[in-house]
Structure 1
Amino acid sequence: MNQQNIFEKLSKIFHEVFTNPNIVLTASLTATDVDGWDSLTHMILIDEIETQFNIKFKLKELNKLKNVGDLLEIIELKLAS
């Protein structure tokens, strides 16, 4: 799966989790940029990403996330291995 496909799939997940089809994903997007992105929706988001991409995150990976670009990078690495 290439980066564009991952990004498109990730966009759909964000739209579903936050019930907002107007969210535009960028590499620099953070939780403070999205209405309703709190600790609960963050866990729902991570769970949905793990399910849709059939991957599992480690806690230390999640702690390093600063933005969507970081998330994309980790997903790419996990899918490549």
Structure 2
Amino acid sequence: MTREEVFDRLNEIFRDVFDDDDITVVDETTADDIEDWDSLEHINLINAIEEEFGMKFDMGQIVSMKNVGEMVDIILENE
């Protein structure tokens, strides 16, 4: 899977979780960039991503991710 394909799938997940069709995530996107991205929505987002990509983030990965780009790196590593 390419980085672009991961972003395409992530954009759909983010739009669904945050109920906002205008969201487009990029490498630098953080929780500060999306209005409703709080701790509860973060859990929903992680669960949706794990389900979509058939993987599990470990706790270290979850707490160390600083932006969506790092999330994509982890997804590609687990492919």
Fold shared, TM-score > 0.5 on shorter chain: yes
Cα distance in 2 for residues equivalent to 1:32 and 1:2: 26
Name the counterpart of 1:71.
71
| Contiguous gaps of at least 5 residues in structure 2 | none
Q: Secondary structure at the match of 1:41?
A: helix
> Counterparts in 2 of 1:2-81, with a 5 A limit?
2-79=2-79
Runs of 4 or more above 2 Å deviation: none
CA shift, 1:4, in A, is 1.0
Contact 2:7 2:26 in 1 (8 A): no
Percent pairwise identity: 37
TM-score by length of 2: 0.97
> How many residue pairs get matched?
79
TM-score by length of 1: 0.95
CA shift, 1:24, in A, is 1.6
